Amino acid sequence: MSQLAPSVEITSTSTIKPLVTDEGEYAAIVELEGTGRTGGHSLRYVIAFVFGEDFYDRIDGYFTASKAAEYEALMHAYIRAYRLSLGELRARRFYYEPPGGWQGRARNLLAQWFTFDYPKRPSQIIVSAAFPSTKIEASVTARALIQRRLVGFKQERETGESLPAENGLGMALHHVVGQFASDPSITDLCTIVATDQRYVYVARLETSTAWFEQDRATLVELARSIRSLPRPKTDEKYALSWMAE
Amino acid sequence: MRLVLEQQTWHELDPEAAVAAELPHIVLVPVAPWGEDLAARRQQVLNWNLPPGATTKVVYEQLVKSSVEWPMRLIEQHVMRGQEVVEVRLCAFYVLLEYWAGVIWRGPLSTFTPERDAIVAAVSGGRPDWRRREIIALYQLYESP
């Protein structure tokens, strides 16, 4: 902030305020208050971010405190209407709470979460991008998604179960037990598929028998924190303004 | 992503800063993708800042596992001037998924010999630290600093 406005002393910073644009994209706003170092004017800054998958657009606004109410409302309206035009149904990152105490890394839109003692503790949770719904049952999707990973896996047994719906998402868990010839440390592959009307959300755990119960609880907790991807506004006024633009 | 050591008892330096550092010290070799000749890169790291006229001799090389079981190549190299060992370099080169990184202990033989086990344990305690380096989940975007 000091780089943005070196002549202003920032006196307060808001928390990060989440927002969803009319287009259905995630966004965030931070508001700052400051005083001009020379004139002593009270100033208000609004810094907004609209998040794409691997980029963001930033929108900055600043105005004197006396005009804050008027311009802040204008700015918030501008941010809500801001468009990235990425399309509604696509591979998208979705909101969930990462497993506490694990560390993650991103591979494009895929997130891999490891324990800090990995690979001694061979636990890994992989969260892929949500993909548009296929109208196929969650349990069938879960079973289908793991097949490619099972190449070279000597399977001993598999189970499936439905989990209670959470945040409006239906959930199915699929568990395969066995061993890879190339990596005997991994014995349990557990996939949770959550679905809503538009998207499929997938998280997969790979771990060993010794850690399975503990890691399964972590995976379920993560799955319960998944939120449906926001929908775009679909009213006529919004559609017409989009076309006019 | 960076490499971190379990034991922080050693003063860690980056390779550039190590040029003028006093011995003994530990250097962390920055994490890099595999996309280069690893053997040549290892050789380059082992031979950093060799004193003029010095020669080198690898006295130990073994593929082992780190304290948390990352694949690791442990190399003990002596820096010689004539028949005299002027420096010991104990290097642990890690394979971390599709990356590699290293830890080097450099010091005199008189310090190394009695402390070898402790020094091996120190350089074997490396692990990758991906925390807070990039945005992995939307959740992070809404965490207030």
Residues B71-103 have pLDDT tens digits of 999 999 999 999 999 999 999 999 999 899 999
Q: Do A98 and B1 touch (CB under 8 A)?
A: no
Q: What is the rounded average pLDDT of the residues A22-31?
A: 95
Separation of alpha carbons A216 and A178, rounded Å: 16
pLDDT at residue B41, rounded to an integer: 85
pTM for this model (two decimals): 0.86
Is 60 exceeded by the pLDDT of residue A6?
yes
**B142 to A116: CB separation less than 8 angstroms, yes or no:** no
Q: Determine if the peptide bond prior to B24 is cis (ω within 30°).
A: yes
Question: How would residue B13 be classed by pLDDT, with cut points 50, 70 and 90?
Answer: low
Please report the residues numbered 6 through 65 in chain B whose beta carbons come closer than 8 angstroms to any beta carbon of chain A. Answer: none
In the block, tokens 């971010």 appear at A49
Q: How far is A237 from chain B (nearest CA, A)?
A: 30
Q: What is the dihedral of CA B78, B81, B83, B88, to 10 degrees?
A: -20
pLDDT digits (tens, 9 = 90+) for B27-70: 888 888 887 688 888 888 899 888 889 999 999 999 999 999 99
Mean pLDDT of chain B: 86
pLDDT band at residue A173, thresholds of 50, 70 and 90? very high
Please, is A58 exposed, middle or buried when counting C-beta atoms within 10 Å of its C-beta (0-12, 13-18, 19+)?
A: exposed
Start-end of H helices in chain A: 68-81, 138-146, 212-224, 236-244
Q: Are B133 and B1 in contact (CB under 8 A)?
A: yes
**In chain A, what residues touch B130 (CB-CB under 8 Å)?**
103-105, 114
* Alpha helix stretches (DSSP H) within A68-122: 68-81
Per residue in A191-229, pLDDT tens? 999 999 999 999 999 999 999 999 999 999 999 999 999
Q: For tokens 């008892």, name the residue.
A: B9
Residues of A in Cβ contact (< 8 Å) with B64: none
Interface predicted TM-score (ipTM): 0.86
Q: Residue B7: is its pLDDT beyond 80?
A: no
Measured distance CA(B11)–CA(B140) in Å, rounded: 32
Q: What's the gap in Å between the CA of A191 and the closest CA on chain B?
A: 19
pLDDT band at residue B17, thresholds of 50, 70 and 90? low
| Confidence (pLDDT) at B135 | 85
B10 vs A22, higher pLDDT:
A22
Torsion of CA B55, B56, B59, B64, to 10 degrees: 180
pLDDT at site A151: 86
What are the helix and strand counts (H, E) for chain B? 3, 8
Q: How far is B139 from chain A (nearest CA, A)?
A: 6
- Is B134 an 8 Å CB contact of chain A? yes
* Closest CB to A94 among B130, B134, B138: B138
Query: What integer is the mean pLDDT of A5-14?
Result: 83
Q: Please tell me which of the candidates B129, B135, B142 has its beta carbon nearest to residue A18.
A: B142
**Cβ–Cβ below 8 Å for B144 and A127:** no
Average pLDDT, chain A: 90
